[in-house]
Each structure stands twice: as structure tokens, then as C-alpha cells.
Structure 1
Amino acid sequence: MDFKQIEQYFRRGLSNREILALLKEVHGIKISNRTLERILSKHQLWRRKNKTDEADVVAFIQQQLQTSGQSHGYRWMHQKCWLNGIITDRETVRVILRLLDGEGVDLRSRNRLRRRVYFSRGPNYVWHIDGYDKLKPYGIGISGCIDGFSRKIMWLEAYRTNNDPRVIAGYFMTAVIEAEGCPNLVRLDLGTENVNVAEMQKFLHHGTQSDSTCVSFGPSTSNQRIERWWLTLRSQCIQFWMNLFDNLKEDGHYADTFLDKCLILFCFQNLIQVSHVLFCSTEFKCIMSVQTC
């Protein structure tokens, strides 16, 4: 029998029962619990002896809570303690986590993520720009931009494409003209449709800011303000059109051909655009009334 396997499982904080199950299923080794206890005792592997001082356990968990460890439950944190040579028990880890990160424990118990804190310095400080593709299978792409501070929609356009950099640049310049100024920062993803917008933003800030401080690139999933807006837009507006087009497809009236997409665009683009404008106007008024209160 290879003792290193038993020691490895023991160092991971596994119980005797879990070690026996792994030995049997993975390695084909079947031994009794009493035999396992003798092997562990012979090599001075004890769970109740030589425990790490609780102050060191607290310090380790505090350090983990400053990183991705803030997402760990007490079982996972207990495993990390043992993997880092800290001998303790699960109950101690559970109590320490409750004391140090009670909010995180409550969020995990409700299967909720820790909310990120969003901050913007003022109106037109940062514009969040992104495309929405839920109606793309039916030939309609949506492009949107939202002010991070006021949550005012700078533009929300339904068109046959949201991937053409010239089209997105046109939306951007129209918004700049209407706002009588450009934002301090634009937040974009790395799609090719945003290349012209980035260059225009840099040109407008030429000599006043460096390129890195007036344009920010990152994945769409991290573009917090506009992603939250897409969620609201879908639940209050887009879901209706998705259901309508899905029904057309199920009833055999839509075959996903170029002609069918052109017909959808011709019949529904203006209707979708009007519903967007009305919804954005109502939503912004509600936001401003709440902020005023």
C-alpha cells in the first residue's frame, strides 16, 4: 500500500470515511477504518493534536478573504487551510468565517453573489457602450449607450447590424453633438465595431488626456451599467418580441432565410425602435424622480 496517497488525502482535510471511499474507488484498495487509524497514528497524523494556533488560522482566513477566498464556503476554506499546512477543524473555520465575513456567509446561504460597488464621478464622466444580440437571429441588432452616473440612455438603436464600426461611430458622434460634449471616458468591449469610436474619443481628447484614461476596454460581462440595463430592457420590452418571433418560427412562418430576415426588419424595426424610445423615456423619468427624492 502506498502511504503517500493516504497522507495526501489526510493533508487535504478529508475524513477517514472519505479516505476509505477514495482508496476503494480510485485505487482499488479496501481496508478497514481501524487499519487506517493505525496507519495514521504510526505516522503521527492526528487531527486533534498539533493543531495550529487559532490566531494563525484567523490571519490565514483574513488573507484569503482579501482575494477570491471571499467566495469560499467553510468546507472549501477548511480544505485550503489544510493544503497550506494549517491544522484545524471545520467547526473552527465555520465560526471564524461567520465572525469575519457574516455578510458573505448570508449571501452564500441564499445562493446570491456579492454585489459589486459601482462609482461614477458625475454626469458624462463615463459612457458605457455595448451591443445586444438577442434579436440577431431574426435580423435585428441593437446598439446602446448609457451614462454611468445618471443612467440616461445616450442612444438605443435597432438596426440591421450592430457590428459595423461606421454605424456605431455615427451613433457616438450624434450623441456627442446632442450632449454638446464628449464623455471623459468610454467603456467598450474588444469588438471590432468599437474601433472607430475609440479613435474618435482619443481624437476629441487629444492633448488633454492619455489614450489609456479616455478609453477603457474589457469584456462585456464586466461592463456593469449597460449589462444591467440590458437585463431591464429584456424583461420589460425585448422578451415580448422574442416570444413573438419564436412563435412565428414554431408556426412555420419564419425559415431563417435572408428574405425572412428582411421581412422582419421591414415590418418590425420601426415598431421595436418606438417601443425602445418610449420605454427609455419612462425609465429615465422614474430614475430621476427616485434620485431627486
Structure 2
Amino acid sequence: MTSPTQSESSRFSFKNLMAVPGRPKVDFDTHHARQMLDLGLSITDVAHHFGVSRPTVYRSLRLSHPEALKRFTDISDEALRVLVQEVNDSHPNAGEVYLMGHLRSRNIKVQRSRLRDALHLVDPEGVERRKRKTVTRRVYSVPCPNFLWHIDGTHKLIRWKFVIHAAIDGFSRLIPYLHCSTNNRSITVLHLFESAVQQYGFPLRVRSDHGGENQKVWEAMIRERGEESRPVIVGSSVHNERVERLNYDINQQVVSVFKQLFFDLEEEGILDADNSTDLFCLHYTFLPQINQHLQEFRAAHNSHSISTERNRTPVQLFFQNHHLIQLHSNHEDPHPGILADELLQRGDLRQVNVDSIGSPLSQQQLGTLDELVQTFPLTMDSKAKYRRISSFVADQLF
């Protein structure tokens, strides 16, 4: 039997509801809706997600977050040209789609035609050069986000003891981590993997090549998922195609720039790849720059449109479909490869050894170098920074 208090409360709510003419007001989480729009999703996507009409979304956001309804950023043609020039200087091989990703990662939204016009003004030769390149696409199928992460390292800068480690989600193409290190240890890869897991969740499976630098990630996956679920797949790089394609883009848009720069320093006689002191100066100067470029590339990649996915971006695909992982825990991988626990038991893992270069300076000298670098003008180019740092280190040692 209903208590008097409950009965009075029910009648009170009912009277209030009946006192308002028309249908009851539809409430939904406008803050969440704003976040969806910030990801680049459309009003239609938001309405479908909450099960309401598009006019309801417009009306609610117009009251709570009117700025979210602006489709494009107010930016002049000249300001856009300057911004495109800035991105092109840092990423000269980035095409129109990746350039749009760079702008979106900075929360700048412009019409495709305006971006194309600006790019033609800034880099007409690059536009023509990229037209001559085509990409051969393979058939690839993964059922949902976090079903399979592809992980790998690229060694294009290993001559100077730089190693880039990357992971990519097989379904959405989202990059969970991308980082340059001065070693190729398994603990380094594990730390990157664990940091990505905290942000995006544990993948159901991980695919890698036979490299021993992945060993601790394999062990972490087996601890989390259990051996019986086959959480780690080790096989040929031919079947690790998502990350191999990613490595191609990284090499084109980031690595090639620094590789040419380092060869130039060698030709000028101010860098010896076999000299540990020169490598220390190189790492001190360029490691932060390489990682900055990699993070800019990662942000652009995660925000670029994928034509085969109705122009959705990786971050949109990941968060829109993340709930599907619960339905596909038993989905079979088309390329099962070799189970990692078999390799761990054999103990014959191959690994490219890259030892970290220690500092030739004392802590006091290193602190003085840090203070010196803070005085460098922002406009100083990378080669000039390297020369100044090399000169300082030489003065301290000799």
C-alpha cells in the first residue's frame, strides 16, 4: 500500500505536469551533446544518439551552448594562409586531408574549398607532387574499436639512435600512442602502452611482429586477458598492415624531414653518428622537436576524414562504436599468427638493440645548459641550436 507521503508527492508531480500545456519537455545531456559536436559529429548524429529530433537538439543547444552551433570558425583568408604556411613548414609532406586534420586538432573548422585555395597559394609544387602518388588499399575488417591494436617500431632514424614506437586501433585507425625514444627497450614500449590504456581502455587483442621490444606488452596482455583468449598475435609485418601503413605516413610527414636535416649536419662536418658526445647534443636538441612533430601528426591523423568511412574521423569512429566491444569478444582474427606465450617459452626473441646515450656533463653543467637554451630566441632554427649546444658541450669538456 502506498504511503500518504508518496501518494501526495505523486499527485503533486502529476498536477504540475498537467498544469503545463503541450507535451512534456524533453531533457537530455546538453554537455555531452556539446562534446559530440566538438568531436565533429553532426546534429543528426547527436539527435540519433539521444533519441530526440534535430529541432530539439538545436533548441536546447541554442539556450545552453549557442557557440557549439557554429559550423565554421571566423578566420580571415590571410590568417588562414599564415596558419597553413605554419603547418606546411613543420609538415611539408602533409596533403589536404591531413592539413584539415591539423586544423581540426586546433579546433579550427573551415570550408574545404578555402583550405584548398590556401594550400595552393602556400605550396603549389607540393600539391602537384602529391597528385602523382596513389595509395593501394587492401581489404581489411575488424568488428569494433579496441578489438585489435597493431603495434610496431620504426627504425628509419636508428643511425642516430632514435626509435619511434606506435600503435593504431584496427577498427577506427585512432593512434593510442606515438612517441620517439632513444632506446628500444621493452619497458619503454610497456610504459607507452600502459599510458594509452589509461586513456582508451585495454584492447581485446594486440598484434605485433617478432621483436623482443614487445615482450612486456605481450606479458601485460596475457595477465589482463588470460592465455586462453589468445590476446596476443605475433606474425609477419605483411599482416600488420594498419601500423605498416601508419609507419609510411610517419616516415613521409615527420621522419623524412629530420632524416635529411641530420644528413645535412653530417655533410657540414658538425655531426658524427659514431661520436657519443655528438649524439648526446643531437638528442638534447632534436628529441623534443621530433616528439612535438609526432604529437602534431597524431592529433592531425586522429582528426582527419576517412573517405571509406563516410568521412568520419578516427576519433569519431572510436567513440561512436566503442560499446560494440562487448559483442565481439569471441570474434576470430583472419590472420592468427603465432601465439606470444610460445615465443616467450622459447626465449629466442629477435630485437634491435639501441642503447641510450649517457650525458657527458655533470648535473651542474647540465643545469647551466638548460638555462642557456632558455635564452635562445624562438626564431632560432634547429641547426643553429645544435651548433650552440655542441659548442657549449665542447667548452665544458675540453
TM range (shorter): 0.5 to 0.7
- Distance in structure 1 (CA, Å) of the matches to 2:287 and 2:216: 25
- Distance in structure 1 (CA, Å) of the matches to 2:173 and 2:191: 21
- Counterpart for residue 251 of structure 2: 234
Percent of aligned pairs with the same amino acid: 31
Find 1:192's aligned residue among 197, 212, 235.
212
Give the match's secondary structure for 2:203: coil
Number of residue pairs aligned between Structure 1 and Structure 2:
177
Deviation at 1:292, TM superposition (A): 4.5
- Distance in structure 1 (CA, Å) of the matches to 2:238 and 2:281: 32
- Counterpart for residue 295 of structure 2: 277
Larger Rg computed on CA atoms: 1
Deviation at 1:215, TM superposition (A): 0.6
Structure 1 pair 119–261 and aligned structure 2 pair: CA distance change class (3 A): same
| Aligned-residue RMSD, C-alpha | 2.1
Give the match's secondary structure for 2:176: strand
- Distance in structure 1 (CA, Å) of the matches to 2:238 and 2:180: 21
- Counterpart for residue 286 of structure 2: 268
Give matches, 1:24-39, under 5 Å: none
Deviation at 1:251, TM superposition (A): 1.5
Task: State the AA in 1 paired with 2:296.
Answer: L
- Counterpart for residue 188 of structure 2: 167
Q: Work out whether 1:216 is the aligned partner of 2:233.
A: yes
- Distance in structure 1 (CA, Å) of the matches to 2:284 and 2:269: 19
- Distance in structure 2 (CA, Å) of the matches to 1:249 and 1:241: 12
> Structure 2, unaligned stretches of length 5 or more?
1-133, 312-398
Structure 1 pair 139–123 and aligned structure 2 pair: CA distance change class (3 A): same
Task: State the AA in 2 paired with 1:142.
Answer: I
Give matches, 1:1-20, under 5 Å: none
Give matches, 1:1-293, under 5 Å: 116-161=138-183, 163-179=184-200, 181-206=201-226, 210=228, 213-256=230-273, 257-287=275-305, 291-293=309-311
Name the TM-score, length of structure 1 as normaliser: 0.57
Deviation at 1:289, TM superposition (A): 8.0
Task: State the AA in 1 paired with 2:152.
Answer: D
Task: State the AA in 1 paired with 2:232.
Answer: V
Structure 1 pair 137–118 and aligned structure 2 pair: CA distance change class (3 A): same
Give the match's secondary structure for 1:287: coil
Q: Retained in 2: the 8 A contact 1:139–1:264?
A: no
Task: State the AA in 1 paired with 2:147.
Answer: Y
> Structure 1, unaligned stretches of length 5 or more?
1-111
Write out per-residue CA displacement over residues 74-133 of structure 1, whole angstroms, 9 at most, x where no aligned residue: xxxxxxxxxxxxxxxxxxxxxxxxxxxxxxxxxxxxxx9985421111111100000011
- Distance in structure 1 (CA, Å) of the matches to 2:299 and 2:145: 17
Q: Retained in 2: the 8 A contact 1:127–1:147?
A: yes
Structure 1 pair 221–259 and aligned structure 2 pair: CA distance change class (3 A): farther
Deviation at 1:219, TM superposition (A): 2.5
- Distance in structure 2 (CA, Å) of the matches to 1:269 and 1:128: 24
- Distance in structure 2 (CA, Å) of the matches to 1:236 and 1:113: 15
- Distance in structure 2 (CA, Å) of the matches to 1:118 and 1:252: 47
Structure 1 pair 149–269 and aligned structure 2 pair: CA distance change class (3 A): same
Deviating beyond 4 angstroms after TM superposition, the runs of 4 or more aligned structure 1 residues are 112-115
Write out per-residue CA displacement over residues 141-174 of structure 1, whole angstroms, 9 at most, x where no aligned residue: 111111111111110011111x201111111111
Give the match's secondary structure for 2:179: strand
Give the match's secondary structure for 1:274: helix
- Distance in structure 1 (CA, Å) of the matches to 2:215 and 2:146: 20
Deviation at 1:186, TM superposition (A): 0.1
Task: State the AA in 1 paired with 2:189.
Answer: I
- Distance in structure 1 (CA, Å) of the matches to 2:179 and 2:187: 14
